[in-house]
A = this chain, B = another copy of it.
């Protein structure tokens, strides 16, 4: 992993009136600093600034939300000198994630990639109502999260954002051209072959549970997932990762598989259970998980 000491970039994004911004600056490795934008700010545009105080992330504190602090004058903060700091990365995420901080929303894979690569980022939270508005649709044409912004570039699709990051920073794609091409194939497989039957199964449980046909359809939906899991487990075999060392393909695949955490089909494939556990054990995963968890818990307290 690249050293990012000189890239460490503390800043906070303040929100437009329709969004709540929680900003999080992150370093590679152990030292992580975080704080929040002012949820009550009416600043018309995002402003970056160095924090007046920072401290290493305490994971337990982050989980309880106490690693965040609120600048008192978000709208009047002074941007840092442009020549000394790169343009920050801003990630737009759920203001109130429907997964309740379990790291199952699709910003998780981008946060994880940013942590693996040691890249600092700010977070902008959007409400469900805001996500369908013109401002967010300009960033994300399907009214979803995440959206990614950096240096005038706005991207959507978690798979594409992870690929974009992996192409520009070493550490998440093999150097060998053939191995790289196969890793990209697994990235596409994660989001277009493994994820769709998982989402179909999960959506039916969420939206059709009270329908007359729910019980009758479940075995079919489970079987579709089961088939893909068996094929994936067969190909993974005894290896730790899909293509050599850990790559962006594992990052996306494990993120997709994590949606099955409560599914009866997953324990049938112990290789995949172990594969997910290997991914979740990575320090970068844990930092990403803590960051999204802290955001959820801060919101939960604010909503109390």
Contacts A160-B188, A164-B184, A181-B160 given; does A234 touch B141 at CB 8 Å? yes
Q: Are B193 and A142 in contact (CB under 8 A)?
A: yes
CB of A195 closer than 8 Å to a CB of B: yes
Residues of the B chain whose Cβ atoms lie less than 8 Å from the Cβ of A175:
none
CB of A121 closer than 8 Å to a CB of B: no
Closest Cβ–Cβ distance, residue A146 to chain B (whole Å): 11
CB of A163 closer than 8 Å to a CB of B: yes
Q: Which of A155, A156, A159, A195 has the most CB of B within 10 A?
A: A159
A195 to B199, CA, bound (A): 13
Q: Which of A153, A157, A178, A207 has the most CB of B within 10 A?
A: A157
Find residues 162-211 in chain A having any chain B CB closer than 8 Å to their own CB: 163-164, 178, 181-182, 184-185, 187-189, 191-193, 195-196, 199-200, 207-208, 211
CB of A3 closer than 8 Å to a CB of B: no
A59 to B144, CA, bound (A): 43
CB of A258 closer than 8 Å to a CB of B: no
Chain B residue nearest in CB terms to A214: B213
Residues of the B chain whose Cβ atoms lie less than 8 Å from the Cβ of A217:
208, 213
Q: Are B235 and A185 in contact (CB under 8 A)?
A: no
Closest Cβ–Cβ distance, residue A25 to chain B (whole Å): 23
Residues of the B chain whose Cβ atoms lie less than 8 Å from the Cβ of A196:
192, 195-196, 199-200
Contacts A193-B142, A234-B141 given; does A188 touch B213 at CB 8 Å? no
CB of A264 closer than 8 Å to a CB of B: no
